[in-house]
Structure 1
Amino acid sequence: MTEYPRVVVNLEKIRDNVKFLTKKCYESQIDVVGVTKVFSGSLEMAKVLVEGGVKYLGDSRVKNLKKYKNLDVPKVMIRLPMRSQIKEVIKHVDISLNSEISTIALLNEEAGKQGKVHKIILMIELGDLREGVLPEDVECYMDQLNSMKNIKLEGIGVNLTCYGGIIPSFENLEKLEIISNLIEGKYNLKLNIISGGNSSSLDLLWNNNMPPKINNLRLGESLIFGRETAYGKDLEGCFHDSVKLEVEIIELKEKKSYPVGEIGVNAFGEKPVFIDRGKRKRAILAIGKQDVDHSNLETMDEKLIILGSSSDHLVVDVTDSKIKYKVGDIVGFKLNYGSLLQLTTSPYVKKTW
């Protein structure tokens, strides 16, 4: 018997997306870090990304990167290392993103103990206000990095859009070029990686407006959904329906649409708001906030209305649908990056390839 709820993944569509996007990037001399975190370290997905042409595999968790030890591509840790995991980073990660000189010093010390030279990408703050060294502090960092024998500065990078929503532009990515020229000129070294951000930078590539020295992008959402993330536009030539969620109906009844009695806070400390539509046919589905935020779901049946959820239940109005639903039926949902990330992390949701 099929197990629900489940995320259904079409690996062939994702493989085609990866091949298309890596080819598009390589035509502009841009290498791709395939970001795997949205599938919680799935080896199957990592293999698809490598087969599709990514040059690196990237993840924010060492635990996930460890699973890829037999895949012959460099492993990139895309979240700044914690001090508590320095040994694991040196042991299992080829390149890590960094912005704290004290952490880099610990990586240098541990790399020496393990007889390794650890590569880093120094992240630069260019306005999004997540991780990154302020541009005016770069030379101070470089003076200290030059004394670390077991650290190799592989390149510099930037994060945009993820936190502050700052859109990549020729102007802000050109600042990364200027900083790379400063480093290479003053310190007589070659930076192999100039990482111009994530899937939100693809709009610049599509419009031939990428600064010429940018040679690396860290792509995740675009590979899965075929979508750039600066403006949320679907990319022509990609599949946009490679994943879906299927959930089973466990109750189906006609009930009032407005609760009866005094309304207080719900199980999550929120005071809910309801619209009185009279009596409606309502389905309860076997999934909840423990697995996914319902605001990140979209029903495949456009006539359904998602009303809300508790920890283990999702309530959906099915009154206007042409489909005559019954208990035990399966309801399909379109996903976005946020919902897929949550669902694949939940141990209560089956993953089907």
Structure 2
Amino acid sequence: MPHVEIDLSKIYYNAKILKEQLNKKGISIMGITKVVLGDPKIAKVIRDAGITYIGDSRIRNIKRLYNAKLGAKLVLIRNPSLSEIKQVVKYADISLNSELEILKNLSKEAIKLNKKHGVIIMVEMGDLREGFMPENLDLVIKRTLELEGIVLLGLGTNLKCFAGVIPDQKNMKRFSQIAASLQHKFGIRFEFVSGGNSANYKWVKNADDLGLVNNLRLGTALIIGAESIEDSPIHDLKQDTISLIAEIVQISKKPKNPTGKFSTNAFGEPSIFKNKKYRGKGVRSQALLDIGRQDIEEKGLVPIDNIDIMGASSDYLICDIKDNEYKIGEKVKFNMSYEALLRAMTSPFVEKRYVK
């Protein structure tokens, strides 16, 4: 059975280093666990590194983290669904919001449960995903402050995830100005001015003036030691925190050219053999591994050994193993991109194993 090997000590190391680096710039961290399916063991090492806010985008994961009793504040980082309001107030300490109707329902449920639920209001800064338009924020803040059971904790924004807009000095300065204006108008002070995610790492490291931004929501940087603009490694952090191991189930010499007419593969994509680099004379040493697109994104796999990934079907990863003298049953190890890791951690057919 394919499995991921999770090195908890390396994730702890990344969390510790990032906390130390960003503390010097006045930035707190919410550790985001969505790429690892809200894994409580991973969340615990992040908490042990001194990060006291743990966030996830799925309420089911938030519930897992709640039941793990981590001693951390839990943050739902996706706009709550109306159908999940009861669970959100019960299990999450804080939620990120961009709909007044949702906020009103959170208020009603908080009153029922005699709880205070913290909210961070999301602001649209150009990436065109979640967030209130800036010109509507006066009304939004006024209405939020009027809601019983709701505690307005701050503002947040998100860039890079949809339109690909990069956090920079211009949009971050504007975000700070919006926060400053609202604080002045309503006589309040935001606990969180949350500037974004791992795509903000380079801006935070390089900027001389961070304005009012005092928080980032980090998942990619913590878990795989990379920033998320160019997916480049962050110096001083570990990238080999989680590896994928798959087993060889077939080894054979196969012709370099398919036999017969060919069109698209099972996913409607052009055959790889339309690319001349996959064709030629003779045969190649080819292996099938026991993992496929139902479990991973093969384009995000980086083999440790000198082999080439040709592609994947639903159930198999097809590799050119070159001159490697593998045997049936041998394991092949891969590093993973964010997307590949997300798929592998979500798949019930990929076992999760831990290294301390």
> Could you say which TM-score interval applies, normalised by the shorter chain?
over 0.9
Instruction: Tell me the SS of whatever aligns to 1:25.
Output: helix
Instruction: Tell me the SS of whatever aligns to 2:146.
Output: coil
User: Would you say the 8 A contact 1:263–1:271 is kept in 2?
Assistant: no
- Counterpart selection for 1:290 from 285, 294, 297: 294
Aligned counterpart, 1:167: 166
User: Would you say the 8 A contact 2:6–2:352 is kept in 1?
Assistant: yes
1:51 aligns with 2:81: no
- Counterpart selection for 1:313 from 301, 311, 316: 316
Instruction: Tell me the SS of whatever aligns to 1:307.
Output: strand
How do 1:184-333 residues align onto structure 2 when only pairs under 5 Å count? 184-274=183-273, 275-278=278-281, 279-301=283-305, 303-319=306-322, 321=323, 323-333=324-334
In 1, the alpha carbon distance for the partners of 2:337 and 2:50 equals: 23
User: Would you say the 8 A contact 2:197–2:217 is kept in 1?
Assistant: yes
Give a deviation string over 1:221-240, Cα, whole Å, max 9, x none.
11122222223332222112
User: Would you say the 8 A contact 1:170–1:209 is kept in 2?
Assistant: no
TM-score (norm 2): 0.94
In 1, the alpha carbon distance for the partners of 2:54 and 2:290 equals: 34
In 2, the alpha carbon distance for the partners of 1:235 and 1:305 equals: 26
Paired AA for residue 310 in structure 1? S
Deviation at 1:166, TM superposition (A): 1.1
In 2, the alpha carbon distance for the partners of 1:173 and 1:128 equals: 13
Deviation at 1:104, TM superposition (A): 0.9
Paired AA for residue 288 in structure 2? I
User: Would you say the 8 A contact 2:145–2:152 is kept in 1?
Assistant: no
Percent of aligned positions that are identical: 37
Aligned counterpart, 2:58: 61
Aligned counterpart, 1:93: 92
User: Would you say the 8 A contact 2:254–2:284 is kept in 1?
Assistant: yes
Instruction: Tell me the SS of whatever aligns to 2:200.
Output: helix
Aligned counterpart, 1:148: 147
In 2, the alpha carbon distance for the partners of 1:271 and 1:209 equals: 48
In 2, the alpha carbon distance for the partners of 1:105 and 1:204 equals: 35
Paired AA for residue 349 in structure 1? V
- Counterpart selection for 1:14 from 4, 11, 28: 11
User: Would you say the 8 A contact 1:31–1:55 is kept in 2?
Assistant: no
Aligned counterpart, 1:351: 352
Paired AA for residue 199 in structure 2? S
Q: List structure 1 runs of 4+ shifted beyond 3 angstroms.
A: none
Deviation at 1:41, TM superposition (A): 1.9
In 2, the alpha carbon distance for the partners of 1:214 and 1:153 equals: 16
Aligned counterpart, 2:343: 342
How many residues are treated as equivalent by the alignment? 347
TM-score (norm 1): 0.95
In 2, the alpha carbon distance for the partners of 1:106 and 1:45 equals: 32
Name structure 2 gaps, 5 residues minimum. Answer: none
Q: CA RMSD for the aligned pairs? A: 1.4
Name structure 1 gaps, 5 residues minimum. Answer: none
Aligned counterpart, 2:118: 119
